[in-house]
Structure 1
């Protein structure tokens, strides 16, 4: 077995990229014969790998490494799978098996991105299963020093948390999927049937709940991208909201569970624990959050959980398209590196922001950069300009150094910010008790904190400028939550999942297309034409997987 080392790069803060700590097989229902043709030592020698805490740490970091793949958060799950939505669209019409057809809901069941993401997530699960099986068998897990036991419990907890996260991604993308909690052995039956998503949610919640006590708080760990306790609680709160929301069931209907309020209660509990714990806070500057990402600075008070990217040469693997595909259009001759800017925004969003809301000119870039590295103003809202408006949160001209690669970047992808925790609490509290009054502990108060930061006023003081009007009903306040998640979190990978759990995806796509055509005429937004209700809320089970495993049924209407 060949071991590759964990690489730390000092760039203002410690950043890591994980080179696979050990070789493992993938349990992705892929071709068994291909694996059997490989040298067998590379598949199963990992069972004898766990000799000390350093081995265990490398193995746990090998589970994280899956997130740094372009098949997951380096490209597909960060940039392609979240659009087209009512906030953004992919530029161009595309060809078979490319990003545009997938974004526009005009794809086949054999689309490569769908298959590759499925396989990558299952590879991560299999790595996690290997860690979970082996760490408790280590002698020092029971008999080591207290420091050794703490480190091993942490590594075990991280593997459990990440297994839960990868299953959560699978459930949201594909619905019912096979559930496997043992690592793959040569004698295993690779042709499992799909498991009801409610059973998978039980496993996700069990994994994350068991993990949380052994994961350190943000202030108790080094400044790196490993999960903190607050972040684990925040992701678990997101799991509960996902489970309590609508999803496409195998009967072809969008439904939510009968006990959905229990899920909201758990989300409220977890987010309130984070708020009361004092480990996290809003950055006083919305702009600084995203400049930090572009400048490769970690700031875990606000940015609670990030996917780490780094490649010494700038090439693949372990680099991403963040700040290239979703950045203002930048010519290849510019000093900043090229930005293809395939990720375009819905221009009507700009005018939906309050004029005093400072977030609009950070979230939305209305310029491009020419080959002389000069900004070209596109703010005049004519069709030729608005077609070039892009997300502004990740900008080539904010990245500060000459690029190692014209297309790829080392910019991390954020999975959880503290403002999202506040908005999740507000949503859960409103669902349970209504918005309440504008005082500490109410849904009003925490949503208004997010708004105040966006308006550039103190977050802990009532503001006549930023705060929502009092007296809103539960239903009216919910619409403000939908709106605020738009203004605060746009283009950060959550929109489609939010619209699905609110059962609004198809309606929102068609409304966006109608609005754009009414204002601009023949606007190049076509998702409303292709989206099919009770179908496209899920991706299909990859056809290549079904060809191998006939026990895999297909999702509705594919």
Structure 2
């Protein structure tokens, strides 16, 4: 069974923190005041758990976060109407009044403010001053969570208001933007400190809590994002110079070397399929899964629940004893052809379903993300929408691919191929030859993928050849291999869109799929109703989200929105 102590702690934590809005309010007996949270280490742990609780909110990583990474070049949210929230995010129709963007903005800052409270107050505890390992661990967890939430802010909004002290009055609640490089500096400082105060995972560890591996893996992700392209407030889309980028790649490999020295984390020995089944079956295993956002609902209600497997996952009828899943997210079917036939990841990651619709007397074709599935969760769910299924934020396969990318950029391509092949071999896919003799066969194929509509056999054409990434040198070919491999391995884990942004090719990758026959109104940001198939995606705008209008209205120190909004 998973996270029993965590559940008990979070049940208390709804009473733990008061918001800035409550600052001038009379205290109630049902609330802990901040000063009472740090009287001893058990209470300090409650405060740390309160930060985790923000991530586990249904309106944060439980559901709303799913929309932010959609419409990369692989999947999108189904439907054609403008809804002011998730569809508009996915269809590149987002505006500063989008309710989901506003909610996520608030959640990030709520979590950071809680982390600031924990960090600043733990440091005043006598146990911390005495060097108590438990006190240092709790600070490390808070530093990790602050870094994670800060990283989200920078990826989504660029330069944002940022502080490392808790908000204690209305007077200091509103500040101007901080340059993202200064925020990145703070993220790196937080993770550098956290990694030295957190233990490595071991057999029986709970990957729902931060560990040294989580801090080091997130550092790798941050360095790669920082080394890549991003949209600046002045409208420039640029990346650091080569000397600075090289230092970031070297830093990635320094963190990766520590994984090797520790030796605990590895690819899940029972295979890719069972790794993903574990999530739907509420099994926490820290071997490959380095950090997870935890969800649990004892009664099926929203508090503590997630929607992994229902809002994202294969379609399941409401009449099915395993529970309903609405298949709200759809995959471009060409991706089924991109995988090798022998690649076991394909049928885990993507399903094709021919679903009979009586009102149409015909079958609808669903291509869906499938890493989380109702069919793996058992019968008689507590709720038709909510699940206990965790979101895996960081896993070892991603660490291997990040290290491979850094090695290639440092002209260590042979070593990079070795790491990539660990991931491919686990999946049953053909290893990439170090001389790249089979590069075209693996990553430049074209052909047809056949499927059954419910009435007849049909096929989709696919063509992996693309013109926006050069393939002259082996280093360039490896970049192409990584372009595909991170899609094959890490799809739907909220990373690919931001890979494409930092590589500077989001627009190119979207255009590559703009003629997909399975658009259903919108696919990868393109609107089939527009003449000439003109896309909604605008380069120099949609690499960032808008600052919510509600924030700009009350914070006079933010004088302009992000480019294009």
CA contact (8 A) 2:72 2:524 kept: no
- In the aligned structure 2, how far is the partner of 1:486 from the partner of 1:200? 28
Deviations 1:148-168 (A, max 9, x none): x11111001111111111100
Deviations 1:361-380 (A, max 9, x none): 11111236889xxxxxxxxx
Q: Report the counterpart of residue 260 of structure 2 in structure 1.
A: 275
Residue from 57, 60, 69 that aligns with 1:69: 57
CA contact (8 A) 1:26 1:119 kept: no
- In the aligned structure 2, how far is the partner of 1:526 from the partner of 1:340? 20
SS class of match (1:214): coil
Q: Report the counterpart of residue 415 of structure 1 in structure 2.
A: 393
CA contact (8 A) 1:272 1:425 kept: no
Aligned length: 510
TM-score by length of 2: 0.86
- In the aligned structure 2, how far is the partner of 1:35 from the partner of 1:95? 35
CA contact (8 A) 1:452 1:467 kept: no
SS class of match (2:292): strand
Deviations 1:157-182 (A, max 9, x none): 11111111110000001100111111
Residue from 13, 16, 39 that aligns with 1:51: 39
- In the aligned structure 2, how far is the partner of 1:161 from the partner of 1:11? 22
Report the Cα offset of residue 445 of structure 1. Answer: 0.5
- In the aligned structure 1, how far is the partner of 2:521 from the partner of 2:480? 27
Residue from 267, 283, 303 that aligns with 1:297: 283
Deviations 1:409-451 (A, max 9, x none): 0100001111000000000000012412xxxxx1010000000
Deviations 1:225-247 (A, max 9, x none): 11111121001110111111110
Report the Cα offset of residue 141 of structure 1. Answer: 2.3
Deviations 1:481-538 (A, max 9, x none): 1111011111111111111111111221222122x14xx6876426132111000100
SS class of match (1:65): helix
Is 1:470 the counterpart of 2:435 in the alignment?
yes
SS class of match (1:427): helix
Residue from 416, 431, 434 that aligns with 1:443: 416
CA contact (8 A) 1:509 1:527 kept: yes
Is 1:350 the counterpart of 2:336 in the alignment?
yes
- In the aligned structure 2, how far is the partner of 1:43 from the partner of 1:523? 49
Cα 1:50–1:523 shift into 2, 3 Å: closer
Q: Report the counterpart of residue 310 of structure 1 in structure 2.
A: 296
Cα 1:89–1:213 shift into 2, 3 Å: same
Within a 5 Å distance, the mapping from 1:488-527 to structure 2 comes to 488-514=489-515, 516-517=516-517, 524-525=522-523, 527=525
Within a 5 Å distance, the mapping from 1:113-128 to structure 2 comes to 113-128=100-115
Q: Report the counterpart of residue 481 of structure 2 in structure 1.
A: 480
Is 1:24 the counterpart of 2:30 in the alignment?
no
Which segment drifts farther, 313-322 or 535-544?
A: 313-322
Q: Report the counterpart of residue 99 of structure 1 in structure 2.
A: 86
Report the Cα offset of residue 467 of structure 1. Answer: 3.1
CA contact (8 A) 2:85 2:101 kept: no
Cα 1:113–1:521 shift into 2, 3 Å: closer
Cα 1:526–1:274 shift into 2, 3 Å: closer
Within a 5 Å distance, the mapping from 1:356-435 to structure 2 comes to 356-367=342-353, 387-435=365-413
CA contact (8 A) 1:22 1:59 kept: no
Q: Report the counterpart of residue 168 of structure 2 in structure 1.
A: 185
Cα 1:434–1:454 shift into 2, 3 Å: same
Q: Report the counterpart of residue 136 of structure 1 in structure 2.
A: 123
Q: Report the counterpart of residue 82 of structure 1 in structure 2.
A: 69
CA contact (8 A) 2:18 2:33 kept: no
Deviations 1:155-211 (A, max 9, x none): 011111111111000000110011111111126422200000000000000011011
SS class of match (1:121): helix
- In the aligned structure 2, how far is the partner of 1:340 from the partner of 1:173? 27
- In the aligned structure 2, how far is the partner of 1:368 from the partner of 1:411? 26
SS class of match (2:287): coil
TM-score by length of 1: 0.87
Report the Cα offset of residue 475 of structure 1. Answer: 0.6
Is 1:227 the counterpart of 2:234 in the alignment?
no
CA RMSD of aligned residues (A): 2.3
Report the Cα offset of residue 38 of structure 1. Answer: 3.8
Q: Report the counterpart of residue 182 of structure 2 in structure 1.
A: 199
Q: Report the counterpart of residue 150 of structure 2 in structure 1.
A: 167
Report the Cα offset of residue 15 of structure 1. Answer: 6.0
- In the aligned structure 2, how far is the partner of 1:325 from the partner of 1:228? 29
Residue from 340, 350, 361 that aligns with 2:326: 340
- In the aligned structure 2, how far is the partner of 1:506 from the partner of 1:179? 29
Cα 1:223–1:522 shift into 2, 3 Å: closer
SS class of match (1:218): coil
CA contact (8 A) 1:12 1:297 kept: no
SS class of match (1:415): strand
- In the aligned structure 1, how far is the partner of 2:82 from the partner of 2:25? 34
Residue from 521, 532, 549 that aligns with 1:543: 549
Report the Cα offset of residue 323 of structure 1. Answer: 0.4
- In the aligned structure 1, how far is the partner of 2:210 from the partner of 2:368? 30
- In the aligned structure 2, how far is the partner of 1:71 from the partner of 1:536? 22
Q: Report the counterpart of residue 5 of structure 1 in structure 2.
A: none
Is 1:260 the counterpart of 2:245 in the alignment?
yes
- In the aligned structure 2, how far is the partner of 1:221 from the partner of 1:288? 18
CA contact (8 A) 2:229 2:237 kept: yes
